[in-house]
Amino acid sequence: MTTVSILGSTGSIGRQTLEVCKDLDIRVNAISAKSNINLLEAQARQFNAKLVSVYDEKYYNELKTRLADTSSSVLCGQEGNIAVAQYESSETVITAMSGMIGLIPTISAIKARKRIGLANKETLVCAGHIIMPMAKLYGCQIIPVDSEHSAIFQCLNGRMGNKIKKIILTASGGPFFGKTRSELTGVSKDDALMHPNWSMGQKITIDSATLMNKGLEIIEAKWLFDVDVDNIEVIVHRESIVHSAVEFEDNSVIAQLGVPKMYLPIKYALTYPKRVESKCHELSLAGKTLHFENPDRKTFKCLDLAVCSLKKGGVYPAIMNAANEKAVELFLNDKIKFLDIADIVENTINNIDIKPDNTDISSVLSADSQARDFVIRLVGEQICRQF
């Protein structure tokens, strides 16, 4: 069994990773979170973590005081995340932070030659062109945690060098599947947070409602499996039983199935290449009907906006991602409406004034912050115009 560090241990993926670690008796050395020190403290005690980091510095002293009677060292800020990512006796790092803030700690984990269980898709969206060659250079394995990518990874086991003709990414369709644009004008935050199949953090749940999540996953798949974006098809599958599939040149399609629980892909990432017995989460197919249909790309335009940013190249995926992260944050804070999210992303991609000549890390980070500023100005102007 491996030993792990978890970036974002208090979130949906982080908590389920700890559940797997508990069930499989996997040693958890180091954990980090943004601000939830109550849960971080409880996790540090339960798993006897040697290193605990809270990003938000205002909670650092409080957490340090609370853990003073334990053997846990406490750190804060991005330095703390980096220390968690590089913790010497952890073999595997699970990147379960939400957002592109996970980029630098992921790079640190690669440089420390860790095995990466990658949940934090925004990292690959913004910098797949840097992460994948770097992982190769340092000899690191990147094992996808995202259920679709875990499925594709599993479908490709035993591929024997055969060429991939097409990747088929399945999408649940989110809570608003089948709705028209006019029906979406008045939807609330609570409506958008009601995902039919998956229980996840707020940001990815909103991304699932706009279908941006599938757009991000197209880019994630492109980098993980080195497949041209035109050979990645998205298909809506409401039941979330078929987690994705690969079509080979002989038109054979290999798919991976399972109940919609992240516990399974997280466990696979931690035990790969072994499969370990599961006492729960059995899939029973009898009596089930599975449906597949095309997504409504006009109403849910985030899907093609993500593809468009990838085709534009350079730092455009980072611009698209930053605009989306900022727009989702504004939506969750009741500052904009649901349909504004896609409009903001579109406006940012089309109108931001960035010369996409360089694509190194500092250019990616700079594009990210310029895109966030662009969104703030855009929304500020819109709000002003309403009065």
Quick one: which segment of 11-19, 41-49, 86-94, 154-162 binds ligand NDP (CB under 6 A)?
11-19
Told to check if 119 binds ligand NDP by CB under 6 A, we report: yes
382, interface contact from ligand NDP, Mg ion, none, CB < 5-8 Å by kind: none
Q: Which two tokens stand for residue 371?
A: 């895109």
Rounded-to-integer distance, Cα 322 and Cα 315, Å: 11
Look at strands 92-95 and 253-257 and give their pairing.
unpaired
Closest approach of ligand NDP to the CB of residue 122, in Å? 5
Contact present, 317 and 125 (Cβ < 8 Å) = yes
Give the residue at shortest CB distance from Mg ion: 146
Between 148 and 296, CB nearer to Mg ion: 148
Quick one: which segment of 114-122, 151-159, 166-174, 232-240 binds ligand NDP (CB under 6 A)?
114-122
Looking only at residues 131 through 160 of this chain, which bind Mg ion when binding is defined by CB under 5 A? Answer: 146-148
Told to check if 220 binds Mg ion by CB under 5 A, we report: no
Q: What is the DSSP letter of 277?
A: -
Among 5, 8, 82, 324, binds ligand NDP (CB under 6 A): 8
Among 97, 140, 339, 344, binds ligand NDP (CB under 6 A): 97
Told to check if 36 binds ligand NDP by CB under 6 A, we report: yes
Strand partners, 164: 248
Rounded-to-integer distance, Cα 109 and Cα 77, Å: 16
Among 262, 306, 310, 315, binds ligand NDP (CB under 6 A): 262
Q: Which two tokens stand for residue 252?
A: 């054979």
Told to check if 122 binds Mg ion by CB under 5 A, we report: no
Told to check if 170 binds ligand NDP by CB under 6 A, we report: no
Between 208 and 348, CB nearer to ligand NDP: 208
Quick one: which segment of 113-121, 173-181, 187-195, 343-351 binds ligand NDP (CB under 6 A)?
113-121
Between 105 and 295, CB nearer to ligand NDP: 105
Matching residue, tokens 């860790």: 114
Rounded-to-integer distance, Cα 308 and Cα 298, Å: 14
Contact present, 195 and 208 (Cβ < 8 Å) = yes
Between 41 and 217, CB nearer to Mg ion: 217
Q: Which amino acid is at 295?
A: P
Between 35 and 358, CB nearer to ligand NDP: 35
Which residue, 86, 92, 1, 99, is CA-closest to 51? 86
Closest approach of Mg ion to the CB of residue 270, in Å? 18
98, interface contact from ligand NDP, Mg ion, none, CB < 5-8 Å by kind: ligand NDP
Rounded-to-integer distance, Cα 89 and Cα 296, Å: 47
Look at strands 27-33 and 73-76 and give their pairing.
unpaired
Count of residues binding ligand NDP (CB under 6 A)?
Answer: 30
**Long-range Cβ contacts of 310-314 (<8 Å, 24+ apart):** 310/218, 310/219, 310/222, 310/229, 311/229, 312/349, 312/356, 313/356, 314/356, 314/357, 314/359
Which residue, 238, 253, 270, 71, is CA-closest to 152? 253
For residue 71, the tally of other CB atoms under 10 A from its CB is: 9
302, interface contact from ligand NDP, Mg ion, none, CB < 5-8 Å by kind: none
Between 146 and 247, CB nearer to Mg ion: 146
Among 204, 224, 349, 371, binds ligand NDP (CB under 6 A): 204
Name the helix (H) or strand (E) containing 123.
helix 121-137
Contacts to Mg ion by CB under 5 A: 146-148
**Sites of contact with ligand NDP (CB under 6 A):** 8-14, 32-36, 55, 81, 96-98, 101, 119-122, 146, 198, 200-204, 262
